[in-house]
Amino acid sequence: MPTSRWRLAVVVPLAAAFLFPLFWLVSTSLQPTGQPLSRRLDPWPAVPAWENYAAVFGVVEFARFGLNSLLVVLVAVPLTVLVSSWAGFAMARLPARSRRLLVAFSFVVQMTPVTAVWLPRFLLFEGVGLLDTRLALVVPAFAGTSPLFALLFLWSCRRIPPDLFEAAALDGAGPLRLWATVAMPLSRPVAVAVATLAFVAYWGNFIDPLLYIRSTEKQTLPYGLQLLYQLDATNWPVLMAAAAMVTAPVVLAFLAAQRWFLQPFRVGGWLGR
């Protein structure tokens, strides 16, 4: 069998497995309002009930929750890319022994259960007056959000030929200029991947708003979904319509960024075309 057919035989079932839940989500959201969730798969309703999407805004303040989520990601995502790229670039410039120690420490931090930091972080936020503020939701971005992101930038910077850094340094470039003119342009695929993963993390974050935000008007979309379920738990088409609207930006973000994900593995090496 030709290679292309083997790829199709693998890719098509995988794509169907990932796309089917999204199709089922949209199909259910277009069922008649008030209809209970059926175990029988209805591929597409005869008369799609598009009004379910408008009904969401009549039950909860979905637009306000969406604006709060948008504000969080607009601050947290660029800050995550900035800080994690600084950390990765700095580790790449360190001596081998110091770099290995920091990489090992990053793995230890990465493996620490997130539940272990909930209480200390809550007490810290309470002490500095960050509770019930949107700033509490973006504080992790000041530390790069996740050690994984810094390690990705470290991996990217280590693959850049040292001659490029040496040539820029001979021209008088300092660390910040090396980062801006050499490291970041050649780490663009990693930057896009980190931005996408950070967007998904902050957009779908449910626990942090639940722990640190007390005012309903400052809550984000995941809390809005939970509130919608509590207020209208039996109206599955409206619930699915809200879930579809929350999921759509994530899907669009991956579609927009997917061309960068495999670029490091293309023929021709990390530096691309």
Q: How confident is the model at residue 261 (pLDDT cuts 50, 70, 90)?
A: low
Tokens 């509770």 -> residue: 131
Model-level pTM greater than 0.75?
Answer: yes
CA–CA distance, 73 with 28 (Å, rounded to integer): 28
Mean model confidence pLDDT for the chain: 86
Of 137, 14, 148, the residue nearest 76 (C-alpha): 137
**Predicted pLDDT of residue 16:** 78
CA–CA distance, 264 with 260 (Å, rounded to integer): 8
- Tell me which H or E stretch contains 245: helix 236-261
Q: How confident is the model at residue 268 (pLDDT cuts 50, 70, 90)?
A: very low
| Domain limits, the chain | 53-265
CB 110 within 8 A of CB 146: yes
Q: What is the dihedral of CA 252, 263, 92, 99, to 10 degrees?
A: 80
The first and second tokens of residue 170, run together, are 């001979």
CATH, domain range 53-265: 1.10.3720.10
